[in-house]
Amino acid sequence: MTPHGGASVSAFARLRSRIPAPVVPVLLALLVLPFVPFVHVLSSYALNIFMQASTFAVAVLGLAVVLGYTGQMNLAQAAFFGIGAYAVGLGTVAWGLSFWTALVVGVIASSAFGCVVGLTTIRLGGRYLAMITIACQQMFDFVMLNWVEFSRGPDGIAGIPRPSLFGHVLADDREYLLLCAVVLYAVIFALWWLPDTRLGRDMKAVRENELAAEVTGVHTLRVKVIAFTLSAALAGVGGAFYAAGFAYISPDNFNFARSIEFLTMALLGGSQSPFGAGIGTVLLILLPEWLRFLKQIYLAAYGLSVILIMVFMPEGIWGLLCAAWQRIAKPQRASAVEVPRLALDIATSDPAPILRVQDLKMHFGGLKAVDGVDLQVSRGTVHALIGPNGSGKTTTLNVLNGIYKPTSGRIFIESEDVTALAPHDRAARGVGRTFQNIRLFPALSALENVMVGAQRRNNPIRAGDAALRERALSALDFVGLLDQAGTEVKNLPYGHRRLVEIARALAGHPKLLFLDEPAAGLNLTEKGELVVLLRRLRAAHGLTIFLIEHDMKLIESVADRITVINFGKKIAEGTPAEVLRHPEVIAAYLGEPAHAAA
Amino acid sequence: MNGLSFNIQVLFSGLAVGSIYALVSLGLVLIIRTTNVVNFAQGDFAMLGAYAMLTMFSVLRLPYFLSILLALVVMGIFGIAFNYGVYYPLRNRSYLPVLISTLGAAIFMQNTILALFGPQPAPLAKVFSSQGIEIGGVFLDSQYLVILGVTAAAVAFQYFLFEHTLLGKKLQATSQDKDMARLVGIRTAWMIAITFIYSAMLGGLAGILVGPILFVSTGMAGVIALKAFSSTVIGGFGDVTGAIVGGLLLGVVESFGAAYISVPYKDAFGFLLLFVFLLVRPQGIFGERIAEKA
């Protein structure tokens, strides 16, 4: 893929560095496995089981993408699998297509349906997605069973031929199995690569905290649509090979129970890794063979094991293996790397205010959280927004960020009307943000968290992963956490998490940085460090900071200008000295003098 | 039969079937409100209730109303087991593990029952031996009348429980803000257990009532669960009134679809209604869109 040799060498080095030594023999054994039937005679029953495992595994790998990487529920994977299978079944038997043409048709059809399901996440997320996908699954079942003229109904399709490759028909089960293995291994390899790409990091960010991902600049809808499309495409591939492998398909191969089976396979093995998904598939296909003695209650035991997996192995078998490996492997200390100073200057001399807000209103039913606020923030200043609890500060920030669409009013960033833009589009225009109740991507390392920030659109850095990494390391260095780059942020102390969040925003090279109560929950020492950090940010040429804070001392020492709001309305504005003496401000914070007298 | 009485007939059976959906989705909504969990085993509660009834009445030959009572007690005990076995260990994790855990529970229940009772659907006697009554050309099936009556009584009971008793206030407090409820001295874990008990009993009641119409089989769980989900989405996610209205609406739409368009595609009308709501008004009839707090 990369045009120059240097990159491919580093890709090879990266490949080697990512495989722990003890795994190498296992991988080699897996590569040899598909050739075993050629030298050692296996029963056709055993070959069938392998064929089932390899085709199911491709669909389960699809689930790894959508559920494991992106965190989106999908209970219709069997339907996508079925679309691929029916395309090959009907294509080869009824429409006279070759296997390969039918495969393409099937993958296009299943991807298209996956894309549509992904698009429904515009309005509906989380639990709704479980319902939508179940409804899709049931619809597929329903249509295939009842639209007999098209699908041949419950009788199914028999006599599906094997594909031919270079004029040679793969009628021999061993040869066909080899082809399935090649496909499977290629998919595993691609999915193993995916998490460390830009797209993969976006997916993980969506899984870990969708709102924070969106605000950091991830086009979350697009990522989810891609995940669903990819997942459905893989299911389609698996289904196509399944149909040609077994020569017969009927709707009950692709019902809701099969979707649950795919889901269980992914969870049992560990949905966040392609290896886990593979292990889970093989285990769950072999399990009934081993548990033959349970016969009657096998499925009940299987249901019970789903609960037990969720309770005792939330990360699946692969998660357990990784945890065990981390305990025995020596922790890799990050070698002291030289990282360049974080560039934060904004090259512009445009005198117009960077942020202009006109008559902003945000009403929730009868509650007027923001009620007609006008605001101008000059470029290169530190502008504080203060007000008593519940005065509408965070709501204002959420509207400026694009998380809420305002009831009325306009927002201009650098004279461009951004009122209608989504949060990720604002991030692409150089808006960064931290949250009052820290929103990081807990299961990702500090470095990965900050890299998501660095990969926002239009970030003025070089293309490529190396530049992203360098930018992220510089940002971590700026907040003093370079040595924690490899630590999962959920294991960091509170104060450090605040700093990682600031580094994530800074890595995107923001023009306008929103900080929502950055000092909340920090102790005195940490607050002191924060003030130093804010002063260093202030020194960056052209960077504008707009912050909400309760700590007046902190505000007095860093803010150039203060806006005070109460009950959603602006009550004062000016320099710290002016504002903190303003009678209405004193009244808002300390109560009316009349009250005190009474 | 003239057009008007035919339509009343169709409306009547639609409302009766819709009442079953409403009862199951009421249980579903109560669990969503208190624990934020979508319980995929809610349909299995109904199935289990029907089988408990079958065991008491047809196998142990107990009197009919005693059988109902005992079956409901069994469901209550089962609710506790479900709470501690399926929900409690995962209560501090995100919604996904719990959701999958309830799916596992559903598979477990259906297949345990299948192993115990076999795949043959079993008949269950109606509450009244009379087939029903006819008024002005409209035939009112006795079991359908019972379903409507019991559902109305259950809704009234629940209203009284939640609005006029201390226990109801505690349950509401727990569902609105668990931490705050705990701080003022409410034993929230116990309130959640009560919710599961109550939901299991509601589901069981629905199964007992619908058993004589559908035949009792393990397959009824999936069908009922799906309808209950649809009712919940249509009525408004997590809204109690919505669950009832959504269930009734779904029952009526299916009933008219079957009467006027096609019987085998009856279930498809339900899906169609569900899709329309998901696309046009995903918050349902009574639901409010709640933006995530940043």
Q: What is the 3-state secondary structure (H, E, C) of A282-298?
A: HHHHHHHHHCHHHHHHH
Q: What is the mean pLDDT of residues B136-157?
A: 89
Collapse the DSSP code of A190 into the 3-class scheme (helix H, G, I; strand E, B; otherwise coil) and give the result.
helix
| Residue contact B104–A300, C-beta within 8 A | no
Res. B3 pLDDT band, cuts 50 70 90: confident
Please provide residue A382's backbone torsions phi and psi, each rounded to the nearest 5 degrees.
Answer: -110, 115
Measured over the CA atoms of residue A504, residue A509, residue A513 and residue A514, the dihedral's sign is: negative
- The nearest CA of chain B is from the CA of A555 a distance in Å of 22
Q: What is the pLDDT of residues A22-38, one digit of tens each?
A: 777 888 888 888 888 88
Q: What is the helix (H) or strand (E) element at residue A113, kind and residue range?
A: helix A99-119
Q: What is the mean pLDDT of residues A341-363?
A: 87
Q: Best interface-test mutation with A: which of B107, B267, B271, B280 has the largest number of A CBs within 10 A?
A: B107
- The nearest CA of chain A is from the CA of B86 a distance in Å of 7
Instruction: Decide if B56 contacts A277 (C-beta within 8 A).
Output: no
Q: What is the mean pLDDT of residues A465-489?
A: 92
Q: Best interface-test mutation with A: which of B92, B111, B229 has the largest number of A CBs within 10 A?
A: B111
Residues in chain B: 294
- Res. A45: pLDDT tops 80: yes
> Does A108 contact B at CB distance below 8 Å?
no
Q: β-strand A367-377 against A355-364: which pairing, if any?
A: antiparallel
Q: Which of residues 54 through 83 in chain A touch B, CB cutoff 8 A?
A: 71, 73
CA atoms within 13 A on the CB side of B277: 28
Instruction: Decide if B218 contacts B114 (C-beta within 8 A).
Output: yes
| Residue contact B38–A130, C-beta within 8 A | yes
Collapse the DSSP code of A357 into the 3-class scheme (helix H, G, I; strand E, B; otherwise coil) and give the result.
strand
Alpha-carbon Rg for chain B, nearest whole angstrom, is 19
**What pLDDT is recorded for position B278?**
78
Interatomic CA distance for residues B34 and B240, integer angstroms: 12
Give Cα separations from A482 to A196, A443, A474, B146 (angstroms).
Answer: 20, 18, 8, 70
Give the residues across from A385 on adjacent strands: A548, A563
Alpha-carbon Rg for chain A, nearest whole angstrom, is 28
| Residue contact B104–A306, C-beta within 8 A | yes
Residue with more model confidence, A550 or A451: A451
Q: Best interface-test mutation with A: which of B36, B108, B269, B277 has the largest number of A CBs within 10 A?
A: B108
Instruction: Name the DSSP class of A330.
Output: P
Token pair listed for A489: 């942020």
Q: Which of residues 89 through 148 in chain B touch A, CB cutoff 8 A?
A: 89-90, 93, 95-101, 103-112, 114-115
Interatomic CA distance for residues A447 and A483, integer angstroms: 10
Token pair listed for A15: 């490949």
Q: Other C-beta atoms within 10 Å of A420: how many?
A: 11
**By CB neighbour count within 10 A (0-12 exposed, 13-18 middle, 19+ buried), where does A524 fall?**
exposed
Give Cα separations from A310 to A515, B30, B34 (angstroms).
Answer: 37, 23, 21
Interatomic CA distance for residues B23 and B75, integer angstroms: 14
Contacts of B282 in chain A (CB under 8 A): 123-124, 128
Identity of residue A268: L
Instruction: Name the DSSP class of A339.
Output: -
- Res. A5: pLDDT tops 50: no
Q: What is the mean pLDDT of residues A271-291?
A: 86
Res. B288 pLDDT band, cuts 50 70 90: low
Q: What is the helix (H) or strand (E) element at residue A62, kind and residue range?
A: helix A44-63
- The nearest CA of chain A is from the CA of B139 a distance in Å of 31
Q: What is the pLDDT of residues B166-223, one digit of tens each?
A: 998 998 888 888 889 999 999 999 999 999 999 999 999 999 999 888 889 988 888 8
- Res. B294: pLDDT tops 70: no
Interatomic CA distance for residues A377 and A306, integer angstroms: 54
**What pLDDT is recorded for position B289?**
54
Instruction: Decide if A533 contacts A554 (C-beta within 8 A).
Output: no
> Does B87 contact A at CB distance below 8 Å?
no
Mean predicted lDDT score pLDDT of chain A: 88
Nearest chain B alpha carbon to A133: B275
Give Cα separations from B70 to A223, B9, B47, B217 (angstroms).
Answer: 52, 34, 15, 20
- Res. A172: pLDDT tops 50: yes
- Res. A364: pLDDT tops 50: yes
Contacts of B40 in chain A (CB under 8 A): 130
Interatomic CA distance for residues A46 and A473, integer angstroms: 51
Res. A17 pLDDT band, cuts 50 70 90: low
Please provide residue A363's backbone torsions phi and psi, each rounded to the nearest 5 degrees.
Answer: -110, 135
Interatomic CA distance for residues A73 and B40, integer angstroms: 14
DSSP H helical segments within chain B, as ranges?
3-35, 42-54, 64-82, 95-117, 142-164, 166-176, 178-183, 188-214, 219-235, 240-260, 266-280
Give Cα separations from B148 to A35, B153, B206 (angstroms).
Answer: 65, 9, 11
**What pLDDT is recorded for position A15?**
67
Instruction: Name the DSSP class of A489.
Output: G
Instruction: Decide if A56 contacts A268 (C-beta within 8 A).
Output: no
Place of tokens 């020569």: A247
**What pLDDT is recorded for position B71?**
95
Instruction: Decide if B155 contacts B206 (C-beta within 8 A).
Output: no
Q: What is the mean pLDDT of residues A426-455?
A: 94
ipTM exceeding 0.90?
Answer: no
> Does A147 contact B at CB distance below 8 Å?
no
Token pair listed for B240: 């109690």
Token pair listed for A437: 């109740």
Give the residues across from A367 on adjacent strands: A364
| Residue contact A310–B108, C-beta within 8 A | no
Collapse the DSSP code of A29 into the 3-class scheme (helix H, G, I; strand E, B; otherwise coil) and give the result.
helix
Most confident of the ranges A11-15, B105-109, B139-143: B105-109
Q: What is the pLDDT of residues A90-115, one digit of tens each?
A: 999 999 999 999 999 999 999 999 99
| Residue contact A142–B271, C-beta within 8 A | yes
Interatomic CA distance for residues A582 and A528, integer angstroms: 27
Q: What is the mean pLDDT of residues A508-536?
A: 92
Residues in chain A: 598
Q: Which of residues 207 through 246 in chain A touch B, CB cutoff 8 A?
A: 211, 215
| Residue contact B100–A310, C-beta within 8 A | yes
Interatomic CA distance for residues A207 and A102, integer angstroms: 34
**What pLDDT is recorded for position A197?**
92
Q: What is the mean pLDDT of residues A152-181?
A: 91
- Res. A272: pLDDT tops 50: yes
**What pLDDT is recorded for position A78?**
97
Q: Which of residues 244 through 273 in chain B touch A, CB cutoff 8 A?
A: 264-265, 267-268, 271
Res. A1 pLDDT band, cuts 50 70 90: very low
- The nearest CA of chain A is from the CA of B240 a distance in Å of 17
Res. A534 pLDDT band, cuts 50 70 90: very high
Measured over the CA atoms of residue A187, residue A189, residue A192 and residue A198, the dihedral's sign is: negative
- Res. A595: pLDDT tops 60: no
* E-strand stretches of A322-413: 355-364, 367-377, 382-386, 408-413
- Res. A213: pLDDT tops 70: yes
Res. A219 pLDDT band, cuts 50 70 90: very high
Vertex A279 angle, CA A273 and A282, to 5°: 145
- Res. B258: pLDDT tops 80: yes
Q: Other C-beta atoms within 10 Å of A393: how many?
A: 27
- The C-alpha torsion from A113 through A117 and A122 to A123, rounded to 10°, is 140
Token pair listed for B27: 């249980």
**What pLDDT is recorded for position B293?**
43
Instruction: Decide if B67 contacts B56 (C-beta within 8 A).
Output: yes
- Res. A6: pLDDT tops 50: no
Domains annotated for chain A, with CATH where assigned, are 43-254 (no CATH), 355-597 (3.40.50.300)
Q: What is the pLDDT of residues B61-81, one digit of tens each?
A: 999 999 999 999 999 999 999
CA atoms within 13 A on the CB side of A261: 25
> Does B76 contact A at CB distance below 8 Å?
no
Interatomic CA distance for residues A139 and B236, integer angstroms: 22
Instruction: Decide if B188 contacts B181 (C-beta within 8 A).
Output: yes
> Does A120 contact B at CB distance below 8 Å?
yes
**What pLDDT is recorded for position A38?**
87
Interatomic CA distance for residues A560 and A548, integer angstroms: 13
Query: Among A112-116, A314-318, A573-577, B59-63, whose mean pLDDT is lowest?
Result: A314-318
String of b and e for A259-298 (b: at least 16 CB within 10 Å)? bbbbbbbbbbbbbbbbbbbbbbbbbbbeeeeeeeeeeebb
Q: Best interface-test mutation with B: which of A75, A131, A302, A435 has the largest number of B CBs within 10 A?
A: A131
